[in-house]
Amino acid sequence: MRWFALFLPVIVSAQDWGGLHVVQGDVDVSKRFTLQLHARMRTNDHFGQFFQSRGGPIGFFLLSKKVSLVGGYYFIGEKSRSGALNDFHRFFGGAQYRLAEGRKWKLDGRTLVEQFAGVAAGNFQRGRQRMTMTMGRGMVRPYLQGEGLRQEGRWLGRLSGGVNVKNFAVGYELRQGAHGGYMHLITTTMTMRLRTVEK
């Protein structure tokens, strides 16, 4: 409760609500390599306005039981503040890894470097560090997540939590905007196994 009290002023001050909805399919190419086909859409203006869509492939190469290399690409369509639609690209790479685990919980990390290209305001790089705590080992698994992003010389933060139920997740995210302010997001993620290989 103390942590919630610390963040309560920020939560109350957030100016907008939006949705972030993800559909993705995993294809096990081999015992070590999984290709994920990823698509998402985001809304803002109290859920009433399209903001962004993106999609592309993400590859996961298993180095060990606890470490995977990650690399991918997104094609992004985004609505600017003026209302114009802009298309650009994001390339990214890094690693995800298990930091600690107990009998009924696990703590995972992810470190990525991203390159944005074709951006109207100018291309840039971004680094991001995410930590995810997942509770439970069964069909229902609550999670808490924190992420820091280093973008154009400043740090941005994101906090989220929710529940995974088999291959579907629903949650809430408090997101700090690149141009100031905070936003509430209701998130959903549907993950499908399109092809499996016994590992």
- Among the listed residues 170, 183, 169, the one whose alpha carbon sits nearest the alpha carbon of residue 18: 183
Specify the pLDDT at position 123: 95
DSSP 8-state class, residue 122:
-
Rounded to the nearest 5°, which phi and psi values hold at 3? -65, -40
Structure tokens at 147: 């992420």
Whether the pLDDT of residue 101 is over 60: the answer is yes
Percent of the chain at pLDDT > 70 equals 92
The predicted structure's pLDDT at residue 12: 53
What total number of domains does the chain contain? Answer: 1
Distance CA 167, CA 172 (A): 17
pTM of this structure: 0.89
Structural domain that includes position 93:
2-195
Give me 38's structure tokens: 């990823």
CATH number of residue 104's parent domain: 2.40.128.140
* pLDDT tens-digit map of 38-77: 999 999 999 999 999 999 999 999 999 999 999 999 999 9
Return the pLDDT at 187: 98
Q: What is the pLDDT of residues 168-194, one digit of tens each?
A: 999 999 999 887 889 999 999 999 999
Structure tokens belonging to residue 156: 């941005």
Segment holding 8, helix H or strand E: helix 2-13
Residue 58, pLDDT score: 98
pLDDT band at 9 (very low <50, low <70, confident <90, very high): low
